[in-house]
């Protein structure tokens, strides 16, 4: 290797080290009950080089490609070799666990060490969502320079399961982009600057750094899923979809539907049952996701209500489809009546005077 090439390599290595944060994000996760010690979370993956959906799926140990597609609202028909350009963002879903007041990915993803790997290189593969020091600490490695080929390492991604401002949310590990700000992020994701500063422990909004991972709470669609359901609470953020009930049910969230979770049969093979159980609402001809035609300002929907190891639960939900006249329109009608009465009285008085 020539002197100039060696110099360039050392320069790039130095830049990489300086650009890498000395400490990755730590998200507060103070679950109040065993039921809230784990949840589903999201995090940005920003690959250094161009990659594919299948490579990301493998890197993060995601079982089904459709899980990755749903988190990014990509069509279910998208192929596994779909290209992800370098430096672009891809949302990665994973299971979060509350542990000692902070949240970390629930023992996954894991990475198997290959010949020539170092902890800093492994951290770079995960777009430095964690530092090599944190990987070493999570895996009980006293010397980061001493890892073995074939060793399986847990990558502790930051996350949370906490309520925010009294509401259940999906916590999203957002990687800050150049030119962004706390206020810009708050506006984009439907929260407030004060909330972001508080839950991230940021004292000065002006000190936000490019590449920093911050906790952004995403509002989730409301659902009728019961507390006894195996997927409770089912939290689906805007413009995403998920599969549940052993892949028999597909649910999607859109703010255009008044933040109401929309669920229907997935038409996929179940990961547990030979065939998916019936999804017809009791005492009705409606199947899950079906709605009656509006009649006399009312309509009824067969909604997903959760699942257990034996069945899929549904319930009938009645909704009003008639809009209530606004106060302004009511005032307008009253205004017409009073104007008419006022005019009639004046005409009567005028006639009386003429007589």
| Res. 352: pLDDT tops 70 | no
For residue 140, is it within any domain? Answer: yes
Q: Are the CB atoms for 82 and 132 separated by under 8 Å?
A: no
Q: Which domain holds residue 208?
A: 20-219
Is residue 171 located within the same domain as residue 304? no
pLDDT tens, position by position, 142-184: 999 999 999 999 999 999 999 999 999 999 999 999 999 999 9
Same domain, 142 and 87: yes
DSSP string covering 244-289 = ETTTTEEEEE-GGGTTB-EEEE--S--SSSSSPPP-BPTTSSPBTT
Q: Note the pLDDT of residue 35.
A: 55
Residue carrying structure tokens 């609470």: 233
**pLDDT for residue 151:** 97
Nearest to 78 by CA among 241, 322, 269: 241
pTM confidence score = 0.82
**Same-domain check for residues 225 and 122:** no
pLDDT for residue 347 is more than 60: no
- Asked whether residue 4 is domain-assigned, the answer is no
Give the model's pLDDT for residue 3: 42
pLDDT of res. 293: 74
Is residue 266 within 8 Å of 247, Cβ to Cβ? yes
Identify whether 8 is part of a domain. no
Residue bearing the bigger pLDDT, 12 or 91: 91
Domain count, the chain: 2
What is residue 355's predicted lDDT score, i.e. its pLDDT?
Answer: 44
CA-nearest of 293, 340, 250 to 66 is 250
How confident is the model at residue 57, as a pLDDT?
Answer: 98
Any domain includes 316 = yes
Q: Is residue 188 part of a domain?
A: yes
Q: What's the rounded Cα separation, in Å, for the pair 253 and 240?
A: 6
Q: Are residues 248 and 298 in the same domain?
A: yes
- Together in a domain, 152 and 211: yes
User: pLDDT for 97-131, tens place per residue?
Assistant: 998 899 999 999 999 999 999 999 999 999 999 99
Share of the chain above pLDDT 70, in %: 81
Pair of tokens at residue 319: 């909704």
Tell me, yes or no, whether 131 lies in a domain. yes
> Are residues 209 and 234 both part of a single domain?
no
Whether residue 7 is contained in a domain is answered as no
pLDDT of residue 36: 61
Instruction: Using a pLDDT cut of 90, give the percent of the chain over it.
Output: 76
Residues 248 and 316 in one domain: yes
Let me know: does 156 contact 134? Beta carbons within 8 Å: yes
Same domain, 36 and 161: yes
Domain match, 68 and 196 both: yes
Q: Mean pLDDT over residues 53-65, rounded?
A: 98
Q: Find the mean pLDDT for residues 317-344.
A: 50
User: For residues 315 and 23, what is the distance between their CA atoms, to the nearest angstrom?
Assistant: 47
- Residue 109 is given by DSSP the state -
Per-residue pLDDT at 100: 87
Boundary-marking domain end, from 167, 191, 219: 219
The average confidence (pLDDT) of the chain is: 86
């Amino acid at each position: 290797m020539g002197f100039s090439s060696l110099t360039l390599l050392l320069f790039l290595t130095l830049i990489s080290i300086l650009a890498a944060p000395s400490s990755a994000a730590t998200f507060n996760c103070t679950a109040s009950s065993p039921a809230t010690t784990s949840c589903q979370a999201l995090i940005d993956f920003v690959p250094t080089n161009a990659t594919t959906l299948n490579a990301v799926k493998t890197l993060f140990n995601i079982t089904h490609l459709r899980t990755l597609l749903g988190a990014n609202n990509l069509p279910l028909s998208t192929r596994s070799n779909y290209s992800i350009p370098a430096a672009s963002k891809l949302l990665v879903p994973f299971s979060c666990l509350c542990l000692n007041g902070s949240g970390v990915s629930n023992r996954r993803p894991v990475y198997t060490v290959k010949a020539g790997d170092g902890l800093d290189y492994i951290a770079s593969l995960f777009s430095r969502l964690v530092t090599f020091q944190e990987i070493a600490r999570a895996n009980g490695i006293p010397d980061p320079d001493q890892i073995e080929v074939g060793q399986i390492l847990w990558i502790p991604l930051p996350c949370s399961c906490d309520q925010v401002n009294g509401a259940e949310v999906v916590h999203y590990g957002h990687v800050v982009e150049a030119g962004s700000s706390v206020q810009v992020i708050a506006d984009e994701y439907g929260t407030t600057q004060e909330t972001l500063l508080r839950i991230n422990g940021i004292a000065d909004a002006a000190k936000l750094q490019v590449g920093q991972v911050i906790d952004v709470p995403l509002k989730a669609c409301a659902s009728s899923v019961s507390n006894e359901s195996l997927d409770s609470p089912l939290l689906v953020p805007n413009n995403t979809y998920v599969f549940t009930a052993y892949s028999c049910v597909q649910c999607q969230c859109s703010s255009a539907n008044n933040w109401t979770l929309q669920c229907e049969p997935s038409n996929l093979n179940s990961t547990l049952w030979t065939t998916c159980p019936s999804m017809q609402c009791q005492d009705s001809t409606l199947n899950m996701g079906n709605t009656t035609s509006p009649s006399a300002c009312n309509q009824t929907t067969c909604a997903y209500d959760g699942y257990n190891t034996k069945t899929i639960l549904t319930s009938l939900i009645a909704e009003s489809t008639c809009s209530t006249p606004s106060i302004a329109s009511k005032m307008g009608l009253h205004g017409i009546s009073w104007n008419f009465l006022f005019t009639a009285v004046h005409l009567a008085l005028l006639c009386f005077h003429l007589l």
